[in-house]
């Protein structure tokens, strides 16, 4: 949540979006979090989970997701 707060301080957007991923052996799961109402006493944190991807069989989808996340972050840096 610290990253969300720092992002909010830089650009006071009403919602802050963060991405994450965790792996266990060959399984990959991506996570998208959205924090809204951060300036209030009760911020809202919403999580979305991807399907479980197999690192061997779903390598192309994993790379595409990683490229999307990085491109989105770079776009925000360049436009922000």
Domain range summary for the chain, segments of one domain joined by +: 2-79
3 has pLDDT over 70: no
6 has pLDDT over 70: no
Over residues 10-24, mean pLDDT: 81
pTM over 0.85: no
Q: In what helix (H) or strand (E) does residue 80 lie, and over which residues does it extend? A: none
Question: Tokens 């919403």 belong to which residue?
Answer: 46
| Strand blocks (E) in 8-76 | 15-24, 27-36, 44-49, 53-54
Over residues 13-40, mean pLDDT: 88
1 has pLDDT over 70: no
């Amino acid at each position: 949540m610290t990253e969300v707060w720092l992002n909010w301080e830089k650009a006071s957007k009403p919602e802050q979006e963060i991405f994450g991923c965790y792996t266990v052996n060959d399984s990959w799961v991506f996570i998208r979090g959205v924090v809204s109402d951060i300036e209030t006493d009760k911020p809202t944190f919403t999580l979305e989970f991807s399907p479980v991807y197999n690192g061997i069989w779903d390598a192309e989808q994993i790379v595409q997701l990683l490229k999307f996340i990085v491109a989105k972050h770079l776009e925000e840096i360049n436009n922000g």
